[in-house]
């Protein structure tokens, strides 16, 4: 197993915590590499690295879940004022698409 110095891990590796931040889990893969940070008077601090390529989503994406997610995203992109898909998430601060906001400043105020 390759061992890297702390902060010198190559791209494509992540700790379990870093995977989690990406919404991923090791997914049954073995530890791919380890990081060692030397410490005085003690053994090195070791962190285990996993391959990002082989990581799996925290929750597997089922068709139902994908559909629910797509609906939720579509709802967030749909402007409540003009009912059009703005193509981006409606900013909460505006509560409507930028076009509506710009064309109806009085209504927004
Ligand atoms: Zn709009």
pLDDT in tens, 1-26: 889 988 888 889 999 999 988 889 99
Q: How far is the CA of 74 from the centre of ligand 1 (A)?
A: 14
Q: Is 108 exposed, middle or buried (0-12, 13-18, 19+ CB in 10 A)?
A: middle
Q: How far is the CA of 11 from the centre of ligand 1 (A)?
A: 42
- Does 11 lie in the same domain as 48? yes
pLDDT in tens, 43-65: 889 999 999 999 988 877 788 88
- For 81, the domain range is 74-108
- Does 51 lie in the same domain as 83? no
**What SS3 state is found at 55?**
coil
Q: How far is the CA of 68 from the centre of ligand 1 (A)?
A: 23
Q: How far is the CA of 6 from the centre of ligand 1 (A)?
A: 49
Q: Say how many domains are in the chain.
A: 2
The end-to-end CA distance of the chain, in Å, is 61
């Amino acid at each position: 197993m390759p061992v890297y110095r702390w902060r010198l891990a190559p791209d494509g590796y992540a700790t379990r915590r870093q995977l989690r931040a990406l919404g991923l889990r090791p997914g049954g893969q073995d530890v791919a590499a380890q990081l060692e940070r030397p410490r005085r008077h003690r053994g090195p601090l070791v962190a285990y690295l996993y391959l990002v390529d082989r990581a799996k989503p925290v929750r597997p994406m089922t068709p139902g879940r994908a559909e629910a997610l797509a609906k939720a995203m579509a709802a967030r992109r749909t402007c409540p004022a003009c009912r059009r898909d703005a193509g981006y998430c409606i900013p909460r601060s505006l509560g409507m698409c930028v076009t509506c906001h710009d064309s109806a400043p009085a209504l927004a105020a």
